[in-house]
Chain A
Amino acid sequence: MKAWMGCAAALVAALLLVSGASAQTKDWSTIRIATEGAYKPWNFTDPSGKLVGFEIDLAEDLCKRMKAKCEIVAQAFDGVIPALNAGKFDAIMAGMNISDKRKEVIAFSQPYGRTPSTFAVLKSSPLAKLPEAGKVYSLNADGLAAAQKSLNDLKPMLKGKVIGVQTSTVQANFLEQYFKDVIEIRQYKTTEQHDLDLLAGRIDAVFGSISYLKGVVEAPDNKDLMLAGPRYAGGVLGFGVAVGLRKSDPELQAKFDAAVGAAIADGTVKTMSTKWFGFDVTPQR
């Protein structure tokens, strides 16, 4: 019994020792960046296990500009903000949109990408005939009146429909704010879950970022799916995708701001986004 307990104690002690990660100084010569690794083409994983995608290329470029050594780690999206605040890593680059709700808990750099959001539906669905397909509306103050009119036009067509969206995203906030009274919102932990439910006909539409949905409807398994209706950007849908940072690190935020600004100014963001998305995601001012 004693020997057995000794072994157990040694095991626990070993585990605790392993867990004591080295304490870090904050001169930002090394920066740990978290990404999801499963959100093509923003960030995903190739079959050898290597992280690839637009944000991986961009992160490497930004780190060169900041003269920092970067370590990019994959982390499930639903734990990413608490893990940042707990100090597991220093920055998030995971296709994360700036939103007012997120700004309450973390800080953001200036945005490095902005893509509108839209609906995806089954080709056989009545929603396939949503009006104004492909037209982009801005929910910022300047375009809000026109956007509000188009939203009101959509409401009768969406009445009683079930729409899927990834939980804790700006798209979920958008549906809550504009369509809560007419549709049933079904929230999913990951985007591929709502894609599967859409294919199965369990929900009538999904609402998501065009950069993601475009790839979905083009995948061979999804030939029954299509994009539908107008596209929305700005406002509750966020001011663009940006680097998420702790509020307590303003000097790191300044570094990222400068690096992102430089990468946009010299066209690096445009080149990389054309490579990965097939279109330009550079945020327009």
Chain B
Amino acid sequence: MSYFELMGFGPRGWGLLLLQATLMTIAVSSVAFLLGSVLGALIAWARIEGNRALRFAAEAYTTVLRGIPDLLVIFLLYFGGSAAMTAVAHALGAQGFVGVNAFASGAIAVGIISGAYQSEIFRGAFGAIARGELEAARAVGMSRRLLFRRIVVPQTLRFAIPGLGNVWQLALKESALISVVGLTEILRQAQVGAGSTRQPFAFFITAAALYLVLSSISGWGFQKAEAFGMRGVRRA
């Protein structure tokens, strides 16, 4: 069977399964990235504006989650999470096993890791806002909320876009680790195909190509977003 027949959409082709796996990779990475954005923003806020205890907690979060292997976080959440939820359910009178859904635990695991990285990006981007702009906003009498909405958010995002592009690609690649909890994304599907047809090379090359396509498209998207964010800024 030729390579294209093997990867095609015919009756003996793996095209449909690989396409579904690609959609799963996109879904789990996107949810994880968005979750990471929310967490990252909160952590960055805690580190900039928080009191001493909050600052310490936020710093501990970023240090720990950037410092331990991602696979470990996934295992902890998936197996530990199931055990904890089963214990809680039993305490409430339920019986049997209560599982953490593979998609949810995978997305949350990658999300909290991504959040640690994103918080650093937001914090750096906030630091890059010209102090004069904040002072000017206060001088015209903007409330804190208005200042946050009109000045801090748009300016921080503008500086954060290139860094966020990097973290998005990290999330995309970390999604491959989620195969250990039984989620069928690109890498797991490639392994299954390789083991089932004994043609590992064809499947792994295809998986590599799929990841490259995803990262190229999203890289182009982030470039456009950056250009849009910088539209009011003259280039030197």
Give A contacts to B, CB under 8 Å: 1, 4-5, 8, 11-12, 15-16, 18-21, 23-26, 36-40, 44-49, 73-76, 78-79, 82-83, 86-88, 190-193, 195-196, 215-216, 219, 221-222
Let me know if B196 and A19 touch, CB within 8 A: no
Q: Are B104 and A196 in contact (CB under 8 A)?
A: no
Interface residues on B, range: 35 or more
Known contacts A74-B184, A87-B86; A192/B98 CB under 8 A: no
Q: Is the CB of A19 within 8 A of B104?
A: yes
Q: Is A44 a contact of B101 with CB atoms below 8 Å?
A: no
B145, CB-defined interface residue at 8 Å: yes
Nearest chain A CB to B229's CB is how many angstroms away? 18
Q: How far is the CA of A216 from the CA of B200 in the complex (A)?
A: 11
CB contacts (< 8 Å) of A24 on chain B: these are 95-97
Other-chain contact of A191, B13, B98, B195 (Cβ < 8 Å): B195
Q: Could you tell me the distance between the alpha carbons of A257 and B199 in the complex, rounded to whole angstroms?
A: 36
Within 8 A of A (CB), among B1-23: 11-14, 16-17, 20
28 pairs from A and B in contact (CB 8 Å cutoff) = A8-B35, A11-B34, A15-B104, A16-B104, A18-B104, A19-B85, A19-B101, A19-B104, A23-B89, A23-B95, A24-B95, A38-B191, A38-B196, A45-B192, A48-B16, A49-B17, A74-B184, A76-B182, A78-B180, A79-B75, A79-B182, A83-B182, A86-B86, A87-B86, A88-B97, A192-B195, A216-B198, A222-B198
> Would you call B79 an interface residue if the criterion is a C-beta within 8 Å of the partner chain's C-beta atoms?
yes
- A192 pairs with B97, CB closer than 8 A: no
Take A23-B89, A76-B180 as given contacts and tell me if A11 and B198 are in contact as well, using a CB distance cutoff of 8 Å. no
Distance of B83 from chain A, by nearest CB (Å) = 6
CA distance A14 to B20 in the complex (A): 23
